Amino acid sequence: MGGCSGDTTKADDQAGARAAAVRAAEDAKLAEQLDHIVRCLSAIKWQAGAISSRRIGDAALYAGFFRKDLEKLLGGRQVLGGHGEPVLSRARIDAYLPWAYARDVADFTRGEDADGDGEVSREEQRAAGYRIVVSCVQEAAQHGIGPLAGKDKVAQWQAMLGLREHLRRFGS
């Protein structure tokens, strides 16, 4: 009988470890999804003027889409921040987004010397951020948001190329 107790304890420990691993994986996936949505909100706000002037719909359309996604994903959860990051919950979205915007724009404009000339040009500095803007607008369009929504993927692709060029030339 004594051996059974040890086996049960070991099995319970293994089950607990598996459950903890599943929770950790779910938490990591949630954090990744939240980060993506928040970065899209920041990117759209950062380039709202360029998006709206490109005639692909008002930037508010795209921001509204990602805001609804953020609220839905958060549900009743409260995500504790680390390293000076504020708490994120449905009730605190409006307090969280300005903090995230400052962080994200700093990241969007941190570019590297892509052409090896020893200097980081304005275009190189913002290239990664512009790619995020374009991918977020495209993601929203693929979910039926804005004038780019629809089955014509060629037109959508051309509009995304046009947006990328417009950002390169006129983006902030």
Q: Identify whether 85 is part of a domain.
A: yes
Q: Identify whether 29 is part of a domain.
A: no
Domain that holds residue 134: 37-170
Q: Identify whether 15 is part of a domain.
A: no
Distances (CA, A) of 84 to 70, 87, 100: 21, 9, 11
Beta bridge partners of 133: none
**Using CA atoms, how far apart are residues 94 and 86, in angstroms rounded to an integer?**
11
Task: Give me 129's structure tokens.
Answer: 């951020």
**Using CA atoms, how far apart are residues 112 and 128, in angstroms rounded to an integer?**
9
Q: Identify whether 6 is part of a domain.
A: no
- pLDDT score of 171 more than 80: no
Q: Identify whether 18 is part of a domain.
A: no
Q: What is the DSSP track for 142-153?
A: HTT-STT-SS-H
Q: Identify whether 24 is part of a domain.
A: no
Predicted confidence (pLDDT) per residue in 8-61, tens digit: 787 777 777 888 888 878 878 988 999 999 999 999 999 999 898 888 889 999
Beta strands per DSSP E along 65-138: 78-79, 88-89
Q: Identify whether 3 is part of a domain.
A: no
Amino acid at 159: A
Q: What is the pTM of this model?
A: 0.84
Predicted confidence (pLDDT) per residue in 81-98, tens digit: 777 889 999 999 999 999
Q: What is the DSSP letter of 44?
A: H
Counting Cβ atoms within 10 Å, is residue 67 exposed (0-12), middle (13-18) or buried (19+)? middle
Provide the number of structural domains found in the chain: 1
Contact at 8 Å (CB) between 124 and 115? yes
Q: What local confidence, expressed as pLDDT, does residue 5 receive?
A: 65
Q: Identify whether 75 is part of a domain.
A: yes
